[in-house]
Amino acid sequence: MDPVLLVHGGAWAIPDDMVDAHLNGVRHAIAAGWQVLNRGGSSLDAVEEAVVIMEDDQTFDAGRGSFLNRDGKVQLDALIMEGATLRAGGVGCVEHLRNPIRAARKILSESPHVYFVAEGAERFAAEHGIALCKNEDLIIPREVERLREFQAHAAEEKPDLFAATLSHDTVGAVALDAKGDIAAATSTGGTLNKAPGRLGDSSLIGCGCYADNKTAAASTTGWGEPIMKLVLAKWAADRVASGSLPEWVAAEAINYLQARVNGHGGMILLDARGRFGIAHNTPRMAWALKTMSEERSGISRQE
Ligand code: ASP
């Protein structure tokens, strides 16, 4: 098969002065993932490496630089899934991991379990050679200020937590490798001012991330609660299996999200034949794509 790699860096009203940072971030992620695919590596390794780049990039709501929860802490969620075997690894509410997707990958590869949360996840990671960090190492001044402003504003009037303009900078990747296997990965700091312990869609299997060679690989971003209610990544993958083109299914999934539960967000979708879709109902979404014949990136559906 000819490899394909598709990544996203969140779907919301990305302001003009943040467009370049988002485009650079998704392009760097493509470069890292493509290196893996180009030397004959697996789609699983490719999505992991692509997501690590975006976790390390403070532009995004993943890894260092993520949104802070109500208590002023970073709490991270991530999932990775392999389409050939349906093996998956997820972590939720971790506070001491720079790259939660690395811990998720260890769970996929080395644990009989699929999902670990909080201290148990961190203990598993440490036992498998992943260094823990301080929560403060994940916090940047921009986010301290953002939370302070949000909370000050929230005291005066009830903010619209679910406005499409509210930032959704979760990151994700889907890939097809030369063996014909697909994989998906999603990583997030969740939503601004979230309650401690709140888990969003991103790391839940079938919600923010899914991969099955027989259907499709999907990664979503956006307001997590509505996406969870529809199990949207699996919903989309199943429609690809019943014969619809990923391009149409991704658009259909986002329409369904809006029509059924008034949700907003975006999705990347790829099947094992290399056909893909990118859709969002937010003003912008950062994405990038690479195949053997083309390399593209964009900040909206129109570009
Ligand atoms: N879906 C994520 C969550 O609700 C947020 C995002 O995509 O930015 O945790």
Residues near 14 by Cβ (< 8 Å), separated by ≥ 6? 22, 283, 284, 285, 286, 299
Alpha helices in the chain (DSSP H): 16-38, 43-56, 100-110, 118-127, 141-156, 224-230, 232-241, 246-261
Structure confidence by residue, pLDDT tens digits, 278-295: 999 999 999 999 999 999
pLDDT of residue 62: 97
pLDDT of residue 303: 44
pLDDT of residue 217: 98
222 lines ligand 1 (CB under 6 A): yes
Please tell me the distance from the alpha carbon of residue 249 to that of residue 252, in angstroms, as a whole number: 5
Distance 179 CA to ligand 1 centre (A): 31
Pull the structure tokens for residue 230.
């529809």
Q: Is the per-residue pLDDT at 108 higher than 80?
A: yes
| Average pLDDT rounded to a whole number, residues 187-191 | 96
Structure confidence by residue, pLDDT tens digits, 21-51: 999 999 999 999 999 999 999 999 999 999 9
pLDDT of residue 155: 66
| Average pLDDT rounded to a whole number, residues 233-260 | 97
Q: Is the per-residue pLDDT at 301 higher than 60?
A: no
Distance 10 CA to ligand 1 centre (A): 8
Residue 225 Cα: closest atom of ligand 1? 4
The catalytically annotated residue of 170, 188, 191, 215 is: 170
| Average pLDDT rounded to a whole number, residues 1-8 | 97
CATH number, residue 269: 3.60.20.30
Q: Provide the percentage of residues in the chain whose pLDDT is more than 70.
A: 95
Q: Provide the percentage of residues in the chain whose pLDDT is more than 90.
A: 91
CA atoms within 13 A on the CB side of 85: 12
pLDDT of residue 168: 82
Q: Is the per-residue pLDDT at 105 higher than 50?
A: yes
| Average pLDDT rounded to a whole number, residues 204-233 | 97
Tell me which of 182 and 153 has the higher pLDDT.
182
Lowest mean pLDDT among 234-248, 270-284, 289-303: 289-303
Whether 133 and 108 have beta carbons less than 8 Å apart is answered as no
* 139: number of Cβ within 10 Å: 18
Containing structural domain, residue 138: 4-301
Residue 224 Cα: closest atom of ligand 1? 4
Please tell me the distance from the alpha carbon of residue 49 to that of residue 70, in angstroms, as a whole number: 30
Tell me which of 51 and 12 has the higher pLDDT.
51
Please tell me the distance from the alpha carbon of residue 286 to that of residue 254, in angstroms, as a whole number: 16
| Number of domains within the chain | 1
Residue 77 Cα: closest atom of ligand 1? 9
Q: Is the per-residue pLDDT at 1 higher than 70?
A: yes
Structure confidence by residue, pLDDT tens digits, 128-180: 999 999 999 999 999 999 999 989 887 666 666 666 667 789 999 999 999 99
Pull the structure tokens for residue 2.
């000819």
